[in-house]
Chains A and B, each alone.
Chain A
Amino acid sequence: MNSGIVTTNGFISWLKTYSGRINITEKAEKYSREMLGDHQFPLIKNVKEVLFPSYDRVYQYRWDQKGWKLNDLAVPATPTLLVALPCEARAIFEVLDRVFRKEDSIDSGYQQRRQDLSLVIFGCTAAPEPTCFCTRVGGNGLWTHPEALFVLPVSSGLYIETENTVFSGLMNEAKPVEEATRKQIQELNKKAQEKMREDTLPQETPQALYDLFHDPEWENIAWKCLNCGACTFLCPTCYCFDLSTEGRLKGYQLKTWDACMFPKFTLHASGHNPRPGYKERVRQRVLHKFAYFPLREEGRYGCVGCGKCVEICPVNWDIRDVVERMVKKIGSGTR
């Protein structure tokens, strides 16, 4: 791993010389306000907007005298630099990539945007918001990926670390990391790892929660939820989508965000609905993230603990409380 120390000004001017699209997540901006100042870069609410837009045209159809024609629509190459926090980055590497880059069915639009993405991760030395809970779901404030540029304020400036040559321009300006700083980072890393080990849900949690499928507690958990879907749209990992048509004789097949909170999401043409009520839909949202996804994806939770859903919910439905309530019941029911 290449690492070095740059100055804050050096880092900001490097960001400003980036020749493609540049975005910072709301959460990362809030966290880095002292360093970067307000509204230096276009804000996005959610990392998934960059890779999995809320509204996406996947192909075109049109009618002419010879009949229907279908035209593939390739996503144009658009280099994009995205600044995010570790939790949000994990949503990309551990959830979205596992869905849209699955080897047997790669989503070509996602793939193009993903290859165009350069990710900058700001390390969090302390939970930046009262709603944060990344350590409960296997993350920590210093989580990074060799593909990303990791940035952490230290006493001698900004510590940077990456294996990606996309960032070599900045890396070339960097001064070597002094021994004292290296020690400081090692210490911070140790603390972060310890906190994560202490907090992370036990390994058997996904199967144990799945075993609570028929628990009566789901009724209470769903009681105050409005099924408004706000949480799903703010969530960096919620990846459910709809495919629909726009236009009659000429138009587009659309891939748009959808949500398990909506009754029509699972409604059959016959009128039958396998998830007819609030209880079934709320249970689906919780179990998809904490049981089904980890059971399919090598233990990865479909939640990164960013806390955005807790912050946005109009009725203060809190997924942290829900998970704790169900975890307490583990072992008490059967599927």
Chain B
Amino acid sequence: MVLAPDEVRNIYLPTLYPIQEIIPETTDIKTFRLDVSGSSFHHQPGQFAELFVPGVGEAPISITSSPTQKGILEFSIKRVGAVTAAIHRLNSQDRLGVRGPYGNTFPLPDLVHQNLLFVGGGIGLAPLRSLVNYVLDTEKRPDFQKVIILYGARSPQDLVFKWELETWKKRTDLVLMVTVDRGDDHYKGRVGLVPNVLKEDVTVNPDLWKGIICGPPIMIKFTIKALLEMGFHPKNIITTLEMRMKCGLGKCGRCNIGPHYVCKDGPVFTYEQLQHMPGEY
């Protein structure tokens, strides 16, 4: 049925939500917690939103909070371009425009009752975190089996969510492994590149686990290679992609890989799906 124009809401119009808290993560990454209580905003793990700063513009950012965290919405944002720099200049109680949620989600029906191996690099932990905290939710946890989280960054200063890594470390129902490419004088943890740590220190039966990965393109490339060497089937390797986007609705025409729009058919793809796509990302 075609709606009359006055029944059609403006799909480009964001909603302004107040910033409840800003958590500094690294020198160029901050986490913004928005208060969306009372709104109808509802997302699934893996989705993203278009964030809007009036007078500056919009940027597509993955939602890092889990839908099980009611009334809030979190975005971890690296200062890279004009919009993310403007977001970094905002203060608590300022309002930020949000459009969404957009995109597909992590394939929850395929993940239920499975063992989950999360592999994150740098700020790539942000989209994974929406699923990690979903799985760790008291009500949802019984639906999933074992959980391993392998997280790496370039240096100890580049690790994000340190405040939450402490919480995860204390839990007995998951294994958390943190690594950095290069340590420093104070750092006492593991040192090594994520794909190497994965191959050397993680021993799992590849037929019984799902690998869910996100990070910089080079890290994703070598992590996929490592998982394949470990015997993972391409359909059991799940990743989430980044693209320049404007509309988030499969219309503006720039985020496609072949006939697939990353904003609509993605951002979550299995490696099996990516193998059948042209690699233009």
Contact = CB atoms under 8 A, between A and B. Distances in A.
B243 A112 contact: no
B278 A214 contact: yes
A247 B53 CA distance: 12
Nearest to B99: A243
Interface in B246-281: 246-247, 249-259, 276, 278, 280-281
Contact of B252 (A108, A245, A258, A291): A258
Interface of B: 2-6, 8-14, 16, 52, 54-59, 80-81, 84, 94-95, 97, 217, 242-244, 246-247, 249-259, 276, 278, 280-281
30 contacts: A58-B12, A59-B12, A61-B54, A61-B55, A63-B54, A67-B16, A68-B97, A74-B5, A101-B2, A102-B251, A106-B3, A107-B251, A108-B11, A111-B3, A240-B252, A240-B254, A241-B251, A241-B252, A243-B246, A243-B252, A245-B54, A247-B55, A255-B12, A258-B253, A269-B81, A280-B280, A291-B258, A292-B256, A292-B258, A292-B259
A74 B251 CA distance: 20
A106 B253 contact: no
Is chain A's binding surface mostly helix, strand, loop or mixed? mixed
A249 interface: yes
A62 B14 CA distance: 14
A283 to B, nearest CB: 9
Contact of A239 (B80, B251, B256): B251
Interface string A47-79: 000000000001101110001101011110000
Nearest to A267: B244
Contacts of A265: 244, 254
Interface of A: 58-59, 61-63, 67-68, 70, 72-75, 99-102, 105-109, 111-112, 115, 210, 213-214, 239-245, 247-249, 251, 253, 255, 258, 260, 265-270, 272, 274-275, 280, 284, 287-288, 291-293, 295-296, 335
A108 B251 CA distance: 13
A44 B57 CA distance: 31
